[in-house]
Structure formats: C-alpha cells, structure tokens
Amino acid sequence: MSVSDNWLSKVNWTEDGLVPAIAQDAGSGDVLMMAWMNREALKRTVETNEAVYWSRSRKKLWHKGEESGHVQKVKEIRLDCDEDVILLKVEQVGGIACHTGRHDCFFKKYENGQWVTTEPVLKDPAEIYHK
C-alpha cells in the first residue's frame, strides 16, 4: 500500500471489504440509488471521476453506465462521521439511474400498508440494455 492510499484505509470497510455508497444528484438533491463499493471501486471512482461500484450479485467491479451509457459523473465524495458510509454527489447522465428505466431507484412509496409505485418509466429497459 502506498502512502497515497492512506485515505482508503480511513474507511471502515465491512468484514466483506465493502462500504455502502449513496448516489445523490448534485443539482436537484434527489437521492438516486445506493450500491456498494470495495476498495478498488472507490479508488477507481476517485481516479476516473465516474462512479464505480462493486456488484455483489455479479461479484465484479461495476462501472455504472457501462452498458446503458448512464454513467454518473462524480462532483464530490463524502464520508460520514463513523467513516462507514460514502455519499457521492453526481451528475446522472441521461437522467436515468435505475435499471428499470426510471430517474431513480426509490420509486416505491409507503401508503397505508402498501408499497405503491409512483415514478414513471422514462425509457424501456429493453431499449437501454442491448442484449
């Protein structure tokens, strides 16, 4: 580990070597999503100024937008008081953060004992992901 990586060691990583990372729209303040980062993901995020997460399901680095083009340009990176949560302030390219084609991932709203879907699909996922 080089001296210049000391900042990475300040983060209180989980036993699995991860930290939750919240992505917030730098302009509107909307919370877009929460994902996880490992050491390498956070380092790459800093180096490239684009959000890189660790996909727990695919078990690999996930450069957000690598398929969809909906990358997140990172304007600011913050760490919380307990040094175990990251907050990214980002410019969300395409205005779509969610894999469902919505602006953000928090589109299920609690109402009278139910989760009600509230936000529109801006783009059909079939058009976003060309598989």
- 96 is a site residue for a second copy (CB under 8 A): no
- 24 is a site residue for a second copy (CB under 8 A): yes
Site string for a second copy, 31-70 (x = CB under 8 A): x-xx-----------x------------------------
Measured on CA atoms in the order 109, 118, 89, 64, is the torsion positive or negative?
A: positive
Residue 36 and residue 62: Cα distance in Å, rounded?
10
- Nearest-approach distance from CB 4 to a second copy, in angstroms: 5
The residue type at 33: M
From 22-30, 47-55, 62-70, give the range in contact with a second copy by CB under 8 A.
22-30
Q: Which residue from 48, 13, 19, 47 is spatially nearest to 34, judged by alpha carbons?
A: 19
Q: Is 8 helix (H, G, I), strand (E, B) or coil?
A: helix
Which alpha helices (H) appear in 14-124, and where do they start and end? 39-48
- 80 is a site residue for a second copy (CB under 8 A): yes
Give the one residue of 39, 63, 106, 123 binding a second copy; rule: CB under 8 A: 106
User: What letter does residue 16 receive in the DSSP assignment?
Assistant: T
What distance lies between CA 70 and its chain's CA centroid? 11
Binding-site sequence positions for Zn(2+): 81, 98, 105
By CB under 8 A, name the binding residues for a second copy: 4, 6-7, 10, 20, 22, 24, 28-31, 33-34, 46, 76-83, 85, 87, 98-100, 102, 105-110, 113-115
